[in-house]
Structure 1
Amino acid sequence: MNLSEIEFVDRMGLIMERLGGTRTMGRMYAWLMISDPPDQSLTDLAAELGVSKTAVSTVARHLEVSGMVERVPSSTREHRYRIVGGGWAQVMRVQLAILKQSLDTLDFGLSILGDDRPGQRDRLKDTREFFAFILQDSDQMFERWKEHREKSS
């Protein structure tokens, strides 16, 4: 990696960390976005990122489960990975599914609080309304994203 690539990879590591992942996860994803060839072995990834092969293997599995990278066929026994198109959309779908589940929990919370606790009810209600607002047009957002990607291709 040249200095600019190192800076990009490190910046993406910080972004992924802020999003709740690990720095290595962000660095690996960033490197896979700019690497040539686009698929990289665990050994290559470990060497480029300066981390252990075990750490890269663990991160690769997490990114694979989340739908952001995929393992590609290889003529050798070594695992190779590449970016999956639409990976960030899949991550967002998972996060929104959690918000949907949260609505039931917030409804339960509201059901156990009596009218004699208006402060607590207001806090729960505010959170529930925000989550419901975010979710109300999420399906249309993903449809618009799909159309946008098709036009851009």
Structure 2
Amino acid sequence: MTELGDAEHRFIEAMALHFERQGGTRIGGRIHALLMLADEPLSLKRIAELLKVSAASVSTNIRACMSMGLVEPVSVPGDRQHYYIISSEGWESRLSTAEEAMKAFVRVCRGALASPRLADKAHLREAAEFCEFYLAEMAGIAERWRAARAARPSRASKASKGRTA
């Protein structure tokens, strides 16, 4: 990846603000966006150069992106640097994390509703029922996504057709 143009910068900054609104860090959003645009693995040093931030900040935030399942490390033969790419399972990881958080929320609400003093609280019941409905509607979505993705022609195979060895 060479230098970034205006369109790339706009996308990276939009993703940075999105991450921040979701409780993450702007730099984490920038790293995620940059790796979404990259056609090859990027080193910590190259990420820092392209985003014009410190290598320490990239290192800290790349670990956060990895813990969310969005980014994964890869090796480049003959090179000892650490390289990173977008995780192919990242979207499913985010969905799974959101589902687990919603299930925990339901448990908290249902636990409160089990108390005779709180059993008639309509807002608690509504919250639990909505989340249970939502979870039931979302059931199987990851499996349907994998099936849809498997049915599509691979972008990697399309890209390799134009390359020569």
> 2:101 maps to which residue?
98
Q: How far is 1:48 from its partner? A: 0.7
Match of 1:48 in 2: 50
Q: Report the 3-state secondary structure (helix = DSSP H, G, I; strand = E; otherwise coil) of the residue aligned with 2:114.
A: helix
> What is the aligned length?
149
**TM score, norm. by length of structure 2:** 0.82
Give me the whole-angstrom Cα distance separating, in 2, the residues matched to 1:102 and 1:32.
Answer: 32
Partner of 1:152: 152
Give % identity: 32
The runs of 4+ residues in structure 1 deviating greater than 6 Å are none
Aligned-partner residue type, residue 109 of structure 1: A
Structure 2 unaligned blocks of 5 or more: 154-165
The yes-or-no answer on 1:108 pairing with 2:91 is no
Q: Distance in 2 between matches of 1:144 and 1:76?
A: 38
Matched, 1:18 2:21: yes
What secondary structure is seen at the aligned counterpart in 1 of 2:84?
Answer: strand
The AA in structure 2 aligned to 1:128 is A
- Separation in structure 2 between the aligned mates of residue 112 and residue 52 of structure 1, nearest angstrom: 51
Secondary structure in 2 aligned to 1:33? helix
Greater share of residues in helix: 1
Deviations 1:56-114 (A, max 9, x none): 01111111122111111133332110111131221111110121122221111112243
Q: Which runs of 5+ in 1 are unaligned?
A: none
Q: Which amino acid aligns with 2:149?
A: R
CA RMSD of aligned residues (A): 1.7
